[in-house]
Amino acid sequence: MSEQATPIVEITGLTKTYGSGAAEVTALDAVDLRVPEGQFITVMGPSGCGKSTLLNLLGGLDAPTAGAISIDGQALGELPDDRLTELRRRRIGFVFQFFNLIPVLDAVENASLPLRLDGAKDAVERATAWLERVGLGDRLHNRPDQLSGGQQQRVAIARALSTEPALVLADEPTGNLDSHSASEIGELLRQVSSDWGRSVLMVTHDPRIASFAQRLVLMRDGQIVDDVALDGSHDGPRQALERAGLL
Amino acid sequence: MTLTLAWRYLRGRGARSLLTTLAVVFGVMLTFGLNGILPAMVEAFTHNLLSAAGKVDLTVTSAYNQPFKPDVVNTLLRVPGVAVASPGVQRTVPLPQTADAAPDALAQVVVVGVDLATGSQLHDFPLASGRMLGGGDRSSAILNADLAAELGLGLGDQLVLPAAGGTARFTVVGLLSTVTVPGQEQVTVSLPAAQQLFGLGTRITQVEATFTQGSDRAQVEQEVAAALGPDYQVGGLSTESTLLASLQTAEVALNMFGVFALATAGFIIANSFRTVVAERRRDIGMLRAIGARRATIMRLFLAESLFQGVIGTALGIGAGWLMALGYFAAMSPIVESFIHVHIGGPVFTPATWATSILLGVGVTVAAALLPARAAGRVTPLEAMRPQLGEVYQRRVGQRAWIGAGLVVVSLFGLTTGSSGLIGLGAIVFLIGFAMVAPAVVNPIAGWASRPLELLFSREGAIARSNLQRNPGRSGITVTAVMLGLASIVATISMVTSIFAGFTSYLDKSLSSDYLLIPQSIILAQGNVAAGPRLAAEVKAVPDIGAVSTLRLAQARSDGGDVQVLGIDPATYLSVADFDWNTGSSDAAIGQLASGRWLIANGIYATQHNLIVGQAILLDTPNGQRTYHLAGIGNDYLNAKLSTLYTSQENLQRDFGVTADMLVMANRTAGADAATTTALLQKVVADYPAFRLYESQTWRAEQMKTFNSTIVIFDVLVAALALPSLLALVNTLAISVLARTREIGMLRAVGATRRQVRRMVMAESLLLSAIGTGFGAIAGLWLGYALVAAMGAVGWEMPYSFPWTGLIATVVVGVVFGVLAALGPARSAARLDVVAALHQE
């Protein structure tokens, strides 16, 4: 495991609680995690184990109750909303379960959104280049309703990559896809880390998709219960889940 | 980037964008169109007055509309800067009408008596044929050739004009080549001939003057005014000023409609954007997640509203222009036949353009401001969540309380009596009501759905729970329907009240059997009055009972003109009555006989804040006199003009007026109407300025005029109604779209297409019924406020409850509910179940 490489994500003692008093729920309980540059890491665990909370905190979409998060050397806790927004725009890419494309924009326009928000002059060229890399070179001007689910998710991945982020956060990216498309997206995300050198942190329920990652983090009740390296075999994640009693 | 996205969203939701933009179109159309109509009418009058003024720099008339001594000319000539001063007489006289005259036949001409020596220095008399008037001409007249043709006169023909003691005949000796300005049909005679015609002796009614070249006009005018004193009016041709004043009153009222329509548009847009924000929470969350700032999101929505505002305003201005053109096409013949003023086309002043553009774009953007801010507050986390129901509930409660507070505050606006505050109160009331609506939708829906569930047994309950489950969305729809219908009910209330007011004046003021009326009595200017002989002759007709007359004088009070009518306190009540304001009664008429007492009409009393018993200073031709107010009441003929009433005795003593303007007479009981009428006709034949009416006929004629103007109000109501239909269609369509997945689920678990259709229909009916109920209540209140506001600007009328309008509105509201549901219900029933279930 390449723990010695520069960490893109560094989390220490990360805690998130919701509610107060008797109704208090601890979603994350003093979690520590380091994600080195270029690593594809997947987080699994039963519903409510805290994996989505972890993702939201990493993306700066939500604020932790305690603990520190550093993304690409920037401590999130110190940033005001606008700086945080800027960091998200430039250093973090998001891939959502429901794709979240703007229905009235075509593929290029959707993929270039973060660049345009950033005022980049070459937004269209860069977005086009990424769309070609994810295999949508012939679908540049189709609107979301003219694309299949897998194609829509590719647009979303191109959008996430268009600003050359250090970290791509993917929340159940295959949750809404058929198994064939899901595999394609898993493969694409592996390519994102191996060929294009981005760190990818993916939350998924699907052991088969998890097997595309290099490393598997298992969570339960807000804590990390296992952290294993994967060898690319389809059974790796399943075996890890069984060992942890999560299957 | 924001602009592109905003534009794409607008285009992507074509139908809905169109519906909301149309709301702006209607608002701007009314503001722009209405504002183009009235200034044009005012300009037409002003223009006609100006073109009649010729080369004249200054005109002197009596402040009391009385003839005056000719030595005023000398006073004028002594003022440095005055080059020529010409004495003259100018009065409007009615033309004798034949019974079979066309409705637009010329009813009156202006008789101008010119001093031949000086007058030709001021006016051109380009002869087409015949000759100019000579010094000794006492019975010759010249007039424009086109006017002569209209009157059927040629050179050497006789023109018959009414005179104080009967009729006078003039021979047409010259025809002029100048073109007649409608409204200023002039017959020119020599000054002595005019003085003789009107029984003025050597007195004159005006002096026209020109200035030496290079003199300071304002200064000369000021010096003339100082030299003449307060009994004279300098500069302005004020004879038509009362008509102008009543036009301006109408302008205020029409402006209220325009602003109102735009406010409604504002609500529709605000509602639409609220829904749009709720619908796009996921999109917004994603944009925030990938790095869009709050400000960027806000700008996105504001840009979208800006597009709609600009497009809507542009279309609205076009539509308003067409509306004004249509109005003129419809109204020109009416105006020309009744008051002989030619109105051209619509006039759009720079102020109208500015107001319409600012209001149209401003209201749209302002309406989107709150939803845009709400959009900015959407957290990026929304992108991660599956679509949740819109979270309105808690804030609905808070808002309802604020709204209730606003409604209470707006009630104070009504009680102030100030038109500005009443108008403001009306708008605050609407906002308050709109805020309360979502909070009370649920309990009302529970109650209102019972009858509906009889009709739609299974679907009714589902529809109700759909509606109750999302009170925010239901509140939006109900509010939109309410706003649209409230404006209709309010307008109808106002129209009903105006008409009820005039009908009531008509019934009370003119309760006599016969009226002898000069032909242009409502304009009350320049009529030739009859000496007391006419009333005496009427009284002498067999079977005529009570006879009473009205006399007219002009006074000034508080620097403004006011007409003073003289009535006979002993006989007035037997032929007419006042429509009394609260606190006044018939006793006030008796009081007039006991000294310098007055009755003021509503307009005058409101303008001067009068209370009964108060002292009023009047400038009369004999100096300033102190009168006291005996009562406040209105009569039909003077409903729109500032008017005071006193005894004929006071009028004779202080104003020197003894001539009768109007004679009212009753038949004795059991008399034969036909015989009496025939006998009266014979009497009136000697007085061509007067026309005999049986009151029923007169009333019918007046009602006919009303009915032709009510068409304009109907168009206005329709223009107000359309946006509310749009609002309903819009919100219903949105609510069906937003529930696509739910409808798919219902179909999956076994709802038939018919059931889905009936469910959407039931929901629409329920929503529109509640909205209509709210709209009726809000509209009644607003209508009351509008009527009160009109009273405050001097157009007092009793509030009249608009029963028929209300029923019509309720029917329209429910029909709209069904119409609006047709499309959405069909598309809901046709949904592809699988696709619907997959849609987020």
Q: pLDDT of B543-591, one tens digit each?
A: 888 888 888 887 877 766 778 888 888 888 888 778 787 777 888 888 8
Residue that wins the pLDDT comparison between B184 and B269: B269
Which residues in chain B touch residue A58, judged by CB atoms under 8 angstroms apart? none
Q: Judge whether A135 and A167 are in contact, CB under 8 Å.
A: no
pLDDT higher than threshold 70 for residue A105: yes
pLDDT higher than threshold 80 for residue B475: no
Claim to verify: residue B796 and residue B758 sit in the same structural domain: yes
- Highest averaged pLDDT of the listed ranges B429-438, B729-738, B745-754, B795-804: B429-438
Domain CATH code at residue B179? 2.40.40.20
Q: Helix H segments across B229-280?
A: 241-279
Model confidence band, residue A66 (pLDDT cutoffs 50, 70, 90): very high
pLDDT higher than threshold 60 for residue B104: no
For residue B452, being part of any structural domain is answered with yes
C-alpha of B535 from chain center: 37
Among chain B residues, the shortest Cα distance to A123 is held by B1
Average pLDDT estimate for B368-378: 85
Q: What integer pLDDT is reported at residue B52 of this predicted model?
A: 45
A103 to B12: CB separation less than 8 angstroms, yes or no: yes
Q: Judge whether A161 and A113 are in contact, CB under 8 Å.
A: no
> pLDDT tens digits, residue range B375-412?
888 877 776 665 444 444 455 577 788 888 888 888 77
Model confidence band, residue B505 (pLDDT cutoffs 50, 70, 90): low
If you write DSSP's letter for every residue of B59-70 in order, what string do you get? EEEETTS--B-T
For residue B329, being part of any structural domain is answered with yes
Nearest to B290 among A62, A89, A109 (CB): A89
Residue that wins the pLDDT comparison between B368 and A211: A211
Claim to verify: residue B737 and residue B640 sit in the same structural domain: no
For residue B752, being part of any structural domain is answered with yes
Which residues in chain B touch residue A85, judged by CB atoms under 8 angstroms apart? 288, 291-293
pLDDT higher than threshold 60 for residue B98: no
Order across the sheet with A40-44: list the strands. A92-95, A167-171, A199-203, A40-44, A215-220, A223-229
- From A169's Cα to the closest Cα of chain B, the distance in A is 11
Q: What integer pLDDT is reported at residue B749 of this predicted model?
A: 66
- From B462's Cα to the closest Cα of chain A, the distance in A is 29
Q: Please enumerate in sequence order all residues whose Cβ is within 8 A of that of B92, keeping only pairs 6 or more positions apart, or say none.
A: B108, B109, B110, B111, B520, B525, B526, B527
Average pLDDT estimate for B469-487: 74
Claim to verify: residue B141 and residue B205 sit in the same structural domain: yes
Claim to verify: residue B430 and residue B444 sit in the same structural domain: yes
For residue B396, being part of any structural domain is answered with no
Q: What integer pLDDT is reported at residue B793 of this predicted model?
A: 53
- Least confidently predicted of B88-97, B309-318, B393-402: B393-402
Claim to verify: residue B68 and residue B175 sit in the same structural domain: yes
Claim to verify: residue B825 and residue B754 sit in the same structural domain: yes
Average pLDDT for chain B: 76
Which residues in chain B touch residue A160, judged by CB atoms under 8 angstroms apart? 290
For residue B397, being part of any structural domain is answered with no
Among chain B residues, the shortest Cα distance to A203 is held by B384
Q: Please enumerate in sequence order all residues whose Cβ is within 8 A of that of B631, keeping only pairs 6 or more positions apart, or say none.
A: B578, B580, B581, B583, B584, B585, B587, B588, B589, B591, B599, B600, B612
Claim to verify: residue B340 and residue B476 sit in the same structural domain: no
pLDDT higher than threshold 90 for residue B227: no
Q: Please provide residue B501's backbone torsions phi and psi, each rounded to the nearest 5 degrees.
A: -60, -50
Q: What integer pLDDT is reported at residue A42 of this predicted model?
A: 94
Using an 8 Å CB-CB cutoff, list residues of chain B that contact chain A.
1, 4-5, 8-9, 11-13, 282-283, 285-294, 296, 379-381, 383-384, 386, 840
If you write DSSP's letter for every residue of B566-617 in order, what string do you get? EE-TTTHHHH---EEPTT--THHHHHHTTSSEEEE-HHHHHHTT--TT-EEE
Q: What integer pLDDT is reported at residue B390 of this predicted model?
A: 44
Q: What integer pLDDT is reported at residue B388 of this predicted model?
A: 45
Residues of A numbered 207-246 whose beta carbons fall under 8 angstroms of chain B's beta carbons: which are they? Answer: none
Q: What integer pLDDT is reported at residue B41 of this predicted model?
A: 63
If you write DSSP's letter for every residue of A11-72 in order, what string do you get? EEEEEEEES-GGG-EEEEEEEEEEEETT-EEEEE-STTSSHHHHHHHHTTSS--SEEEEEET
Q: What integer pLDDT is reported at residue B239 of this predicted model?
A: 35
Claim to verify: residue B319 and residue B406 sit in the same structural domain: no
Claim to verify: residue B179 and residue B58 sit in the same structural domain: yes
ipTM, two decimals, is: 0.73
Residues of A numbered 16-75 whose beta carbons fall under 8 angstroms of chain B's beta carbons: which are they? Answer: 52, 55-56, 59, 61-62
Q: Interior CA angle at B317 toward B313 and B322, to 5°? A: 145
For residue B395, being part of any structural domain is answered with no
Q: Judge whether B380 and B289 are in contact, CB under 8 Å.
A: yes
Q: Judge whether A58 and A201 are in contact, CB under 8 Å.
A: yes
- Least confidently predicted of B449-453, B714-718, B776-780: B714-718
Residue that wins the pLDDT comparison between B256 and B825: B825
Average pLDDT estimate for B140-150: 86
- Highest averaged pLDDT of the listed ranges B198-202, B444-448, B514-518, B798-802: B198-202
> pLDDT tens digits, residue range B19-72?
778 777 877 887 788 777 766 666 555 544 444 444 567 778 887 777 888 888
Residue-range definition of the domain harbouring residue B646? 520-688
| DSSP letter, residue B550 | E
Q: What integer pLDDT is reported at residue B264 of this predicted model?
A: 65
Look at the block and give the residue holding tokens 């004159």: B204
Q: Judge whether A107 and A141 are in contact, CB under 8 Å.
A: yes
- Least confidently predicted of A193-207, B236-250, B348-362, B776-790: B236-250
Nearest to A56 among B290, B296, B381 (CB): B381
* E strand segments, B78-139: 82-94, 108-114, 127-130
> pLDDT tens digits, residue range B701-719?
767 766 766 666 666 677 6
Using only C-alpha atoms, chain B has a radius of gyration, in whole angstroms, of: 33
- Least confidently predicted of A68-77, B619-628, B634-643: B634-643
Claim to verify: residue B49 and residue B64 sit in the same structural domain: no
Q: Which residues sit opposite B579 in a β-bridge?
A: B634
Write out the two tokens for B278: 């709720």
Q: Please provide residue B346's backbone torsions phi and psi, each rounded to the nearest 5 degrees.
A: -60, 145
Model confidence band, residue B527 (pLDDT cutoffs 50, 70, 90): very low
Among chain A residues, the shortest Cα distance to B281 is held by A100
For residue B513, being part of any structural domain is answered with no
Other CB atoms within 10 A of residue B246 CB: 17
Mutant choice from A53, A83, A95, A96 vs B, greatest count of B C-beta within 10 A? A96
Residue that wins the pLDDT comparison between B335 and B192: B192
- Give the total number of structural domains in chain B: 4
Q: What integer pLDDT is reported at residue B392 of this predicted model?
A: 45
Percent of residues in chain A assigned helix, strand, coil, to nearest 5: 35, 25, 40
Claim to verify: residue B231 and residue B92 sit in the same structural domain: yes
| DSSP letter, residue A5 | S
Which residues in chain B touch residue A96, judged by CB atoms under 8 angstroms apart? 286, 289, 383-384
Pairing of strands B623-634, B597-600: parallel
Q: Which residues sit opposite B692 in a β-bridge?
A: B516
Nearest to A104 among B1, B8, B287 (CB): B8
Claim to verify: residue B419 and residue B349 sit in the same structural domain: no
- From B441's Cα to the closest Cα of chain A, the distance in A is 31
Q: What integer pLDDT is reported at residue A140 of this predicted model?
A: 93
Residue that wins the pLDDT comparison between B726 and B514: B514
Mutant choice from A16, A55, A94 vs B, greatest count of B C-beta within 10 A? A94
> pLDDT tens digits, residue range A32-57?
999 999 999 999 999 888 888 898 89
- Highest averaged pLDDT of the listed ranges B169-183, B304-318, B658-672, B743-757: B304-318
Which residues in chain B touch residue A117, judged by CB atoms under 8 angstroms apart? 1, 287, 290-292, 296
B289 to A88: CB separation less than 8 angstroms, yes or no: yes
The full set of domains in chain A, from first to last, is: 7-100+164-243 (3.40.50.300)
Q: What integer pLDDT is reported at residue B721 of this predicted model?
A: 67
Nearest to A102 among B283, B291, B384 (CB): B283
How would you class A82 by CB atoms within 10 Å of its CB: exposed for 0-12, middle for 13-18, buried for 19 or more?
exposed
Domain stop point among B206, B236, B266 = B236
Domain stop point among B190, B213, B236 = B236
Distance CA(A61)–CA(B626), nearest Å, equals: 80
Distance CA(B258)–CA(B249), nearest Å, equals: 15
Q: What integer pLDDT is reported at residue B738 of this predicted model?
A: 66
Average pLDDT estimate for B174-191: 76
pLDDT higher than threshold 90 for residue A201: yes
pTM of the predicted structure, to 2 decimals? 0.58
Mutant choice from A102, A161, A162 vs B, greatest count of B C-beta within 10 A? A102
Classify A142 as helix, strand or coil.
Answer: coil
Domain stop point among B180, B203, B236 = B236
Residue that wins the pLDDT comparison between B268 and B643: B643
Mutant choice from A85, A124, A178 vs B, greatest count of B C-beta within 10 A? A85
pLDDT higher than threshold 90 for residue A107: yes
> pLDDT tens digits, residue range A206-240?
999 999 999 999 999 999 999 999 988 888 899 98
For residue B514, being part of any structural domain is answered with no
Average pLDDT estimate for A167-176: 90
Distance CA(A59)–CA(A76), nearest Å, equals: 9
Using only C-alpha atoms, chain A has a radius of gyration, in whole angstroms, of: 18
